[in-house]
Amino acid sequence: MTTTSYLVIGASHRTCSGAVRDRLSTDEAEVAGMLDRLRAAGVGQALWLSTCDRVEVQAVHERPNEAALAIAEAMADRVGLPTADLAPQLYTRTGIDAVRHLFAVACSLDSQIVGEPHILGQLKAAHRSAASAGMTGPELEAALQAAYAAAKRVRSETPIAEGATSLAAAAIQVARDLHGDIRRCGALLLGLGDMGALVLEGLREAGLPRLTVAAPVDRRAEAAARRLDGHFAPWADLETAMTGADILVAAAGLGRYILTAPMMEAVLKRRRRRPVFVVDAAIPADVDPAVAGMDGAFVYDLADLERVALQGRVGREAATQAAWMIVDEAVAAFARDRAERAAVPAVAALRTHFEAERRRLLAGHGDLDAASATRLLVNRLLHAPSEALRALAADGSGEGLAERATAERLMFRLFGLDRFGQDGMAGEVTGDRASDGAEETERDKDERREPGREVR
């Protein structure tokens, strides 16, 4: 029987540079093309998830190693690198590890900011794109639905989402303390990190009227600006865009400072030292530490906002641990369910075989009384396994003995025979041919050879 395995391969903020992630990222309109590429490579069940934190493929395949190579090649082609050069920046998980990763992503446990609310919606959007492209199947659907259920439990049973929400609320509080009525302010989002978007969404809800978006990849910034109902600024003209912003939210995470001290000094001079609230929402940091010492620049990173929000580290860690417990429970339940489903065809085949034997016996021995008919049926059903066990017993090699022991343990487990004593029953089945129960009698053999009777 052919079996399939779950597979995840991708690049995230933990494994890959921001520059490579930017080149690897895909807009919604580009996802269908990437899925077509995977289908052409023989990957029939897959979704392509592209966020600011990660670009990864969730897939199901009979040969996960081959599928992982095909996916890595598609990613390498997109960024214009040889597969061998991109491979060290990719992570690969298979089997139950891939399932656990999927659940962790859905529950926002693998995000830069644990508990951020955007990832579940992004995963569902990727799921819809895959379904529209005909790239989903029963195995992938089962894993995704179980992941969504786990995410719902994490949201309802733990306070993990409160941490990310409180950071955004803290940013709003600081903005009001510094600028007063934020309905007179303008903001600039630098980069497309999820925490930056969360802060900006909170500011929007609090009345922020003007928002501009800039990112290293202009097309992504334009798309985000449309989504956030804001304006777009080219990355090459960053300094000009910063001059008109009372609130700067840096969320690029490129691994280098995008807001340097000289740049900020020039901006403050243009603003005539009017204060700027700077939120460094990136990991690693986007803002040069020297900026915090400048007159007119008020820099808060995520740890600062957390202190403002009075979110204790112990409480956050406890919520995270509780969420991981839910994930592990959900993964174990999913694995059990899939294993039980996998056993159904074998059970059905066994039942069909037994029923066929019963019908053949009735057709060929309809004149037998109940005792004789049932005895003959039992003998027929036990004949093949009895012969197989005897053949294993006759093989005196170490491999033969080990296989026999495994077969006997499985037989006792399948038929619940432990209560009879494994050693005793094993002797009856595999020992002397004179023992009753598993051997056809001479009368049975004669009946099978009578004219008009079924011949086995």
| Backbone phi, psi, residue 94, to 5° | -130, 165
The structure tokens listed for 248 are: 């700067």
Helices (runs of H) and strands (runs of E) counted in the chain: 18, 10
C-alpha closest to that of 54 among 77, 8, 21, 30: 21
Helix residue ranges per DSSP H, 180-312: 194-205, 218-227, 238-243, 261-270, 302-308
Residue 89 is given by DSSP the state G
Determine which helix (DSSP H) or strand (DSSP E) holds 104, and give its type and residue range. helix 95-106
**Measuring CA to CA, how many Å separate 38 from each of 25, 89, 135, 398?**
16, 20, 9, 46
Angle between helices 138-157 and 313-364 (to 10 degrees): 140
* Strands of 5-12's sheet in order across: 45-50, 54-61, 5-12, 91-94
The DSSP line for 297-359 is EEEEEHHHHHHHTT--HHHHHHHHHHHHHHHHHHHHHHHHHHHHHHHHHHHHHHHHHHHHHHH
Task: Based on the residue annotation, tell me whether 52 is a catalytic residue of this protein.
Answer: yes
Integer Cα distance of 1 and 348 in angstroms: 14
Catalytic residue positions?
A: 52
